Amino acid sequence: MRRPYRGRGEGGGTKTGSESKDEEEEKKTAESKQDKKAAESKQSEPEPIRLSGNGQMATELFDLEEGLSVFRMTHQGDGNFSVTLLDEDGQRAGGMGGLDSLLVNEIGSFEGSHAVAVEAGRHVLDVQAGGPWTITIEQPRPSSAPQTTTFTGNSQSATDFFQLSQGLKMFNMTHQGNGNFSVSLLDKNGRRAGGMGGLESLLVNEIGSFDGSKAVRIPEEGIYLLQVQADGPWSIQIE
């Protein structure tokens, strides 16, 4: 006896045309929401500010939003290269009470970056240089970051963003150089992070070669970055 024909959608768990259409609509809606969220995040991030010059000069005034600013700097010359961030009243700006206003202070050619928390308002950079220089100011506003645990570099640098969970973390650090080696932990807004209200944000501050570690309690899960001062190869591993 021939078995009766069972068309599509009859038994066997096969999805009907309407069910498939509903799933496709739900998928499109979810993708649309993700695209909208990404677009809003991108729109909320200010456009980079680009400055350049040759020798000592004060830049034109520029506007910064409250939060994290990353200064990416280059210098071609044999003399001193220093950059200081000031507000429109001429007061040192950046960090707590302007403590992070000195963005770089090196001799000779330089390529590096400095991350700092700023207040909203107009600012100016006071530049000392012995040759051509460039400064690009970025104001990133990350909503997510990878769980990166290893960082390396060769000079002063603000690392990429990374995700940290709450609790105890071990920072293993090395440096090969003759100058100052310091590492500070910052949150995504550029504020000093770590236990005791950020007092443990300074992970190391030594002169010359270094090979050591520091244990820090991370008060809450979130997005962080490291500000590194170095004059030679360095590495940081987080456990």
User: Of residues 34 and 71, which shows the higher confidence score?
Assistant: 71
Contact indicator for 73, 104 with CB cutoff of 8 Å: yes
The answer to the question of residue 8 being in a domain is no
Q: What is the pTM of this model?
A: 0.80
Cα–Cα distances (Å) from 57 to 53, 117, 130, in that order, read 8, 23, 11
The answer to the question of residue 107 being in a domain is yes
The answer to the question of residue 39 being in a domain is no
Which residue among 99, 116, 138 closes a domain?
138
Regarding whether 76 and 132 lie in a shared domain, the answer is yes
Which of 50-54, 98-102, 124-128, 201-205 has the least mean pLDDT?
Answer: 98-102
The answer to the question of residue 232 being in a domain is yes
Regarding whether 155 and 132 lie in a shared domain, the answer is no
Residue 95, phi-psi category: left (phi > 0), alpha (psi -120 to 50), beta (remainder): left
Q: Which domain holds residue 84?
A: 49-138
Q: How confident is the model over 200-222, as pLDDT tens digits?
A: 799 999 999 999 999 999 989 99
pLDDT on residue 94: 83
Structure tokens at 228: 């590194």
Name the pLDDT band for 5 (thresholds 50, 70, 90). Answer: very low
Beta strand segments in 29-118, E: 49-54, 57-58, 62-64, 67-75, 80-87, 102-107, 110-118
Which residue among 105, 138, 171 closes a domain?
138
Checking if the pLDDT of 113 tops 60, the result is yes
pLDDT on residue 29: 59
Regarding whether 53 and 132 lie in a shared domain, the answer is yes
Regarding whether 170 and 106 lie in a shared domain, the answer is no
Give the span between the Cα atoms of 209 and 192, in whole angstroms. Answer: 25
Say how many domains are in the chain.
Answer: 2
Regarding whether 158 and 132 lie in a shared domain, the answer is no
Regarding whether 108 and 182 lie in a shared domain, the answer is no
Contact indicator for 88, 122 with CB cutoff of 8 Å: yes
DSSP letters along 110-177, please? EEEEEEEEE-SEEEEEEEE-SSEEEEEEE----S------EEEESSSEEPPPEEE-SEEEEEEEEE-S
Q: What is the mean pLDDT of residues 106-110?
A: 95
Q: Output the domain CATH number for residue 120.
A: 2.60.120.380
Regarding whether 165 and 129 lie in a shared domain, the answer is no
